[in-house]
């Protein structure tokens, strides 16, 4: 039986190893495939090469942060159609404003809700249309 994720390829960008592992474990359990980056720069290069169905982007990253990385992805014709969902624990207005202006498909609040996470991810995959 094939799981909810049906082999969709999800890129998880997260610099916290525990958060990264939790997201990976939940998604793989539900039959998503996953690839990972811990730095914004790596994420941009890997996205161009692998063209994932969806990118989950931690906003707080060292160096090129999640907002800047997403802006780069959105200005590159090869990656502009990949939906990018922000992962953030921040409720600060300034962060929310930066997120809403930067081309994200949506936001998932951290810590993730392990009972709902795979459903949230799948719905962002589907709402982005067939790729
Ligand atoms: Mn972080």
**How does pLDDT run along the chain (131 residues), one tens digit per residue?**
468 889 999 999 999 999 999 999 999 999 999 999 999 999 999 999 999 999 999 999 999 999 999 999 999 999 999 999 999 987 788 888 888 889 999 999 999 999 999 999 999 999 875 44
* Model pLDDT, residue 48: 98
DSSP 57: E
| Cα-based angle 108, 39, 69 (whole degrees, multiple of 5) | 65
Distance, CA 60 to ligand 1 centroid (Å)? 4
Of 11, 75, 81, residue with least CA distance to 42: 11
* Model pLDDT, residue 2: 65
* Model pLDDT, residue 93: 85
Distance, CA 2 to ligand 1 centroid (Å)? 32
Distance, CA 16 to ligand 1 centroid (Å)? 6
Distance, CA 90 to ligand 1 centroid (Å)? 11
Contacts of 121 (CB under 8 A, 6+ apart): 5, 10, 27, 32, 54, 56, 85, 108
């Amino acid at each position: 039986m094939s799981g909810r994720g049906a082999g969709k390829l999800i890129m998880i960008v997260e610099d916290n190893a525990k958060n990264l592992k939790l997201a990976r474990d939940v998604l793989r359990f539900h039959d998503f495939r996953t690839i990972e980056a811990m730095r914004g720069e790596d994420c941009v290069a890997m996205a161009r090469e692998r063209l994932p169905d969806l990118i989950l982007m931690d906003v707080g990253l060292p160096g090129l942060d999640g907002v800047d990385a997403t802006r780069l992805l959105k200005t590159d014709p090869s990656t502009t159609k990949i939906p990018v969902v922000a992962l953030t624990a921040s409720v600060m207005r300034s962060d929310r404003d930066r997120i809403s202006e930067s081309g994200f498909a949506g936001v998932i609040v951290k810590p993730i809700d392990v009972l709902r996470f795979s459903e949230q991810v799948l719905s962002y995959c589907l709402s982005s249309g067939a790729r």
